[in-house]
Amino acid sequence: MKKGRVTIHDIAKHLKLDSSTISRALNDSPRVKEKTKERIKQVAKELGYKPNVMAANLRTQTSKTIGVIVPWISRYFFSSAISGIEEVAYSKGYNVIICQSHDEYDREVANAYTLFANRVEGILTSVAMDTVKYEHFEQFIEEGIPMVFFDRHAPEVKACSVVIDDFNTAYKVTAHLIKQGNDRIAHFSGPGNLNIYKDRFNGYKKALEDYGKVFDPALVFESRLLIEDGIEGIKHLLSLPNRPDALFSSNDLAAIAAMKYISQHTEFSVPEDISVAGFSNSPSASIIEPGLTTVDQSGEEMGKIAAKRLIDEIKGEIDKCTNEIITVNSKIIVRESSVKKVAKLVK
Amino acid sequence: MKKGRVTIHDIAKHLKLDSSTISRALNDSPRVKEKTKERIKQVAKELGYKPNVMAANLRTQTSKTIGVIVPWISRYFFSSAISGIEEVAYSKGYNVIICQSHDEYDREVANAYTLFANRVEGILTSVAMDTVKYEHFEQFIEEGIPMVFFDRHAPEVKACSVVIDDFNTAYKVTAHLIKQGNDRIAHFSGPGNLNIYKDRFNGYKKALEDYGKVFDPALVFESRLLIEDGIEGIKHLLSLPNRPDALFSSNDLAAIAAMKYISQHTEFSVPEDISVAGFSNSPSASIIEPGLTTVDQSGEEMGKIAAKRLIDEIKGEIDKCTNEIITVNSKIIVRESSVKKVAKLVK
DNA sequence: TTGTAGGCGTTATCAC
DNA sequence: GTGATAACGCCTACAA
């Protein structure tokens, strides 16, 4: 079992120097002569030396690793967030360990344990749908390990969150649907324990009120927003005696499932009979016909901002905050699915 | 700086035992009395002890970590492969470090270096489009660190690969297009240095020959298969004096870009004027209208198989193989984009 | 500018 | 069954 077995001691023996000098040279310490540095680096290369970061980390009590817990890696929003996180982390010399909770509480707890055991220096999380208790996060706070939430946050935990303004964005989407002449706007909501869904719901409700529309609880369908939920939801809504003329879904997945169902199994058409808007701007939103009006919530940018913030906290350059909320800009993307008259789009 | 500071020594002091006993107990060694084990575990819990895996790994000369290098995390195929890898790895006690090469050679080399420095016990890779040299992989082979390629493999490297049968699959897709009555079938190919694209191209060509169709090099458009490449490619093909009546694209992204272009900027329609088939069964393939005929190449399953194989090699349960190729089943998904008569689909 | 010595938290190998 | 000791590879006071 020979695993990158060349150590600084081997280099030391080779040059009849001490391993501490080698260590210093390799770390570009000013305390070693340029000439020796060169010799050392030369020999290091010759022998094929590769540093053992585990050993270094153990010694320095760091791990240069940050942990990420997301519900699903393969959801576009999360994979692009991870992409952004990765980008920032590697550029600052941090590795990233990624776990997925599958939106299950138990898995999230297990993930947190794993990350803790690996002595990550910080945690980035978007919490699982099932999560209603937060002790597994508290352990990090207690140990002084920085945490930053992104998108799905947990206000109960004393940590910073990177989010978009869900309330206002939802308000604007709803207002847009109203301005298109819709009266009865339905809403697909997610689990109420997640703030983002609560906020979107509240924004939707407020817009209805402000524009003098009736808020009808029967038009709100709460689910986990999966494909099957979208189908079930739209079936239900269309079967109502007084069916809605528009739908605002809290994610694209359910919105698209509903649109597909409408076009394949009903006589209705989008947007003429029912306008649809989603949330998150997934790639499919621009592929489906008619194009889905949605909210661009750049996962990559949120990931980058969250990672940057986390690393600043790790380095102590920013105080670990208590419940600070960083709001990232979101943008409504209006496409054909919500524009009643087939006119030019407002970009 | 207090980071999970409770160590086995603290537990030892607490119980007036030696740390070695604690270590044994926590690892369920049979060499420690049941009763003491219980006491130790009890105290460990009380003190909030969390093992430091870094220290354990340094001592045991392992890392319980596997490295993954993929071109893009946010591509559906790769994110679902990662999901599968993660699943298997965590169930066997391994962590996963993920890097993305952005399809660039330099980044891939840097990723390999990082993973090496972190003493990963094995590597899973799908190589970058730009990669034509493989020394950065050889270092792992030389050090006896198992590698497994998936999808985009490098036959030059002595490692096992998990792939689908690209040649035959491409052959079948092309045959399907021919059977639908098409004569001039165009092909979007990827960079020739990647085997998967070479194989798909060869399968395409062979099918043309076997079915007595002329192979016209002018109908082959080689690119990196990005959205803009799909647009450029279809523009070019449709401008030919003798335009193709079908298109077989080596990925879905370019196929969908082409379809969108056709419907938005030309008089042609899919599949009547030009049939289209893609590759990989991305989520968008089932969203676009008409549905895109493509190849299901389960990323998740490939990831699982590759990870399982890698871990077996790490554990020494399987010999590190030399160029063995594991072929995973793929399945053609026929949708409307390739069926000339709007009849029932052949499933 | 370089060397010495000790330790990060574990586990493995001896003893007893 | 349990304890003492050394070592994994590296870093860092401190000394020279």
The CATH number of the domain where B108 resides is what? Answer: 3.40.50.2300
Do the Cβ atoms of B97 and A96 come within 8 Å?
A: yes
Residue A3 lies in a domain: no
CATH number at residue A14: 1.10.260.40
Which residues 6+ apart lie within 8 Å of B319 measured at CB? B313
Residue from the list B57, B58, B100 with its beta carbon closest to the beta carbon of A83:
B100
List, for residues A167-192, the tens digit of each pLDDT value: 999 999 999 999 999 999 999 999 98
- What CA–CA distances, in Å, run from A213 to A70, A257, A271? 37, 26, 20
Q: In whole angstroms, give the CA distance from residue B242 to residue B227.
A: 24
Task: State residue A98 phi and psi, 5-degree precision.
Answer: -110, 135
pLDDT tens profile B244-302: 999 999 999 999 999 999 999 999 999 999 999 999 999 999 999 999 999 999 999 99
Which of B287, B300, B304, B315 to probe by mutation at the A interface, max A CB count within 10 Å?
A: B287
CA atoms of A295 and B144, how far apart (whole Å): 49
- Per CA to C1' distance, which residue is closest to C8? A59
Co-location of A89 and A237 in the same domain:
no
- A45 and A143 housed in the same domain: no
Helix or strand or coil: residue B146?
coil
CB A227 within 8 A of CB A165: no
Whether B207 has a pLDDT exceeding 90, the answer reads yes
H or E element, residue B104: none
* Pair (B274, B314) in one structural domain: no
Classify residue B1: in a domain, yes or no.
Answer: no
My answer on whether A181 and A302 are in the same domain is no
Indicate whether A341 pLDDT > 70. Answer: no
Amino acid at B322: T
pTM of the model: 0.89
Q: B244 lies in a domain?
A: yes
A218 found inside a domain: yes
In this structure, the answer to whether residues B89 and B173 fall within a common structural domain is no
Q: What is the mean pLDDT of residues A270-296?
A: 95
| Same-domain status, A144 and A196 | no
Residues B89 and B100 in one domain: yes
Q: What is the pLDDT of residues A252-266, one digit of tens each?
A: 999 999 999 999 999
Same domain, yes or no, for A215 and A322?
no
A162 touches A309 (CB < 8 A): yes
Contact yes or no for B276/B246 (Cβ under 8 A)? yes
Q: How many domains does chain B have?
A: 3
List CB contacts (< 8 A) between A73 and chain B: 73, 79-80, 82-83, 86
Would B56 be classed as within a structural domain? no
Residue A58 belongs to some domain of the structure = no
Looking at the fold, whether B310 and B276 belong to one and the same domain comes out as: no
CA distance A246 to chain B (A): 21
> Whose C1' is closest to the CA of A40: which nucleotide?
C2
- Provide mean pLDDT across the span A317-341: 89
CA of B35 to C1' of D1 (A): 11
Does A293 share its domain with A225? yes
Do residues A292 and A311 both lie within one domain? no
- ω into residue A290 within 30 of 0, thus cis? yes
Mean pLDDT within B116-139:
91
What domain range is A319 assigned to? 63-163+298-327
Taking contacts as CB-CB distances below 8 angstroms, the residues of chain B near A57 are: 54
Backbone angles phi and psi of A322, in degrees to 5: -115, 100
Query: What pLDDT shows up at residue A346?
Result: 43
Question: Has residue A1 been placed in a domain?
Answer: no
Q: Which chain B residues touch A145 with a CB distance below 8 Å?
A: 3
Q: Of A267, A271, A293, nearest to A181 (Cα)? A: A271
Does residue B57 lie in a domain region?
A: no
CA distance A51 to chain B (A): 6
Shared domain check, B72 and B43 = no
Percent of chain A with pLDDT over 90: 78
Q: Cβ(A282)–Cβ(A77) under 8 Å?
A: yes
